[in-house]
Amino acid sequence: MLDKLVGKIGHYMYFRYGFFILLSLSLLLSIVFPHNDNFIMFVISVIFLGIGFYNKPVFLMIFTVLVVIFRFNLLPLAEESFIIHLVSYFLISFISAGAMYYVQKVKKDALDLTKSLINALDFRDTYTSDHSENVSRYAVKIAEKMNLSKELCHVIQTGGLLHDIGKIGIPENILTKPSPLTSEEYNIIKSHPVIGYDMLKHVERFKKNGMLDIVLYHHERYDGKGYPKGLKGTDIPLAARIVDVADAFDAMMSKRVYRNKSDLVVALNEMRRNKGTQFDPEVVDAFLRIIQEQGIKGEHLIEYDHTKRAALR
């Protein structure tokens, strides 16, 4: 329940703001209506306090004591003693903080597991080492530039990391083949989105948040000529369209077993040339705005090979 609430509202900082707003409202109501017992408002504010300051125990204790002082002094009709109030509110705030800590730990464990899966893929093909992390980073930057929600940005981050996970099921002699692939081998490579989807489809969180769409549809094309389903335009989930652009850019800027990396200018021109055919024009425009606004030059990209990472500065 808390996991869903945090997912909908966003970052824990919003709960900090919510605490101060609720506490202020509780104080105002207690002053304006001194004979009304507004204890529910104080309890809710302490719940928000625990969630918002779960990682700041000193502030959590200080603010809990302040809430109890306000509550006890503004509502003198309360029969309980100050100590009972203090213990009760500490219990509420610590339970809320503990629940939030658990939610964050589950998310971190899931991300660590994701990175472990990606490392397993990287070990099979040193030429694509760190490719998934680069794609994830680029995709999140694009999503943020498009003003997407924090929840969707988090999904895109995870989906970017896992987009190629299906390549674990591709024979290594095909995955690392230095010469051109045969049509049969290329069809095997094209099966990796479905393999990845089948690997992850039983993870409940991935089914609900749309991350599986990224794994399955990141090779669809805006003109409908992609794979595996041949989806077209906005029928392709937005998150998959974003990862597609990030994936293509990093692929062009990376040294592969079968070719050298492209020049930045060449890569950007390819992105422009394929707007409306391979790529969603809106996503490409957002990516190009990042390049333009940050003044990225070719020399500002870290040289990419199997020992170094490419990164947007």
The rounded distance, in Å, linking the Cα atoms of 298 and 253 is: 10
Tell the burial category of 4 from Cβ atoms under 10 Å away from its Cβ (0-12, 13-18, 19+): exposed
Better-predicted residue by pLDDT, 104 or 160: 160
Bridge partners (DSSP) of residue 187 are none
Residue 222: pLDDT above 90?
yes
Q: Name the residue among 147, 159, 144, 134 with its Cα closest to residue 312.
A: 134
- 98 and 169 belong to one structural domain: no
- pLDDT for position 308: 36
What tokens does 149 get? 């929600």
- 95 and 156 belong to one structural domain: no
Q: pTM of this prediction? A: 0.65
- pLDDT for position 139: 96
What tokens does 187 get? 């069809």
Tell the burial category of 177 from Cβ atoms under 10 Å away from its Cβ (0-12, 13-18, 19+): middle
Please provide residue 275's backbone torsions phi and psi, each rounded to the nearest 5 degrees.
-65, 130
Domain finish residue from 102, 137, 166: 102
In sequence order, what are the residues at sequence separation of 6 or more whose Cβ sits closer than 8 angstroms to the Cβ of residue 66? Answer: none
- 98 and 213 belong to one structural domain: no
48 is a domain residue: yes
The rounded distance, in Å, linking the Cα atoms of 157 and 136 is: 5
- 153 and 76 belong to one structural domain: no
Question: Among the ranges 34-43, 45-54, 60-69, 227-236, which has the highest mean pLDDT value?
Answer: 227-236
Domain finish residue from 102, 135, 164: 102
119 is a domain residue: no
305 is a domain residue: no
On the CB side of 6, how many CA atoms lie within 13 Å of its CA? 24
Q: How many domains does the chain have?
A: 2
- pLDDT exceeding 90 applies to what percent of the chain? 35
Q: What angle do CA 153, 156, 160 make, to 5 degrees?
A: 145
pLDDT band at 8; cut points 50, 70, 90: very low
- pLDDT exceeding 70 applies to what percent of the chain? 80
- pLDDT for position 29: 80
- 87 and 174 belong to one structural domain: no
Tell me if 301 sits within 8 A of 264, measured CB to CB: yes
- Mean pLDDT on 68-82: 70
- 61 and 188 belong to one structural domain: no
120 is a domain residue: no
Q: Which domain holds residue 77?
A: 2-102
Neighbours of 250 (CB within 10 A): 25
Q: Helix or strand or coil: residue 275?
A: strand
- pLDDT for position 218: 97
- Mean pLDDT on 83-111: 83
The region of weakest confidence among 135-144, 194-203, 247-256 is 247-256
- Mean pLDDT on 139-157: 93
Residue 125: pLDDT above 60?
yes
Residue 108: pLDDT above 80?
no
- pLDDT for position 129: 59
Residue 304: pLDDT above 80?
no
Whole-number average pLDDT of the chain? 81
- Mean pLDDT on 8-35: 78
The rounded distance, in Å, linking the Cα atoms of 67 and 214 is: 45
- pLDDT for position 103: 81
Tell me if 52 sits within 8 A of 13, measured CB to CB: yes
Give the gyration radius of the chain's Cα atoms: 25
The CATH number of the domain where 280 resides is what? 1.10.3210.10
14 is a domain residue: yes
- Mean pLDDT on 196-208: 85
- 152 and 245 belong to one structural domain: yes
139 is a domain residue: yes
- pLDDT for position 124: 66
- 204 and 274 belong to one structural domain: yes
178 is a domain residue: yes
- pLDDT for position 310: 35
pLDDT in tens, 258-272: 444 557 888 889 999
- pLDDT for position 79: 58
307 is a domain residue: no
- pLDDT for position 130: 78
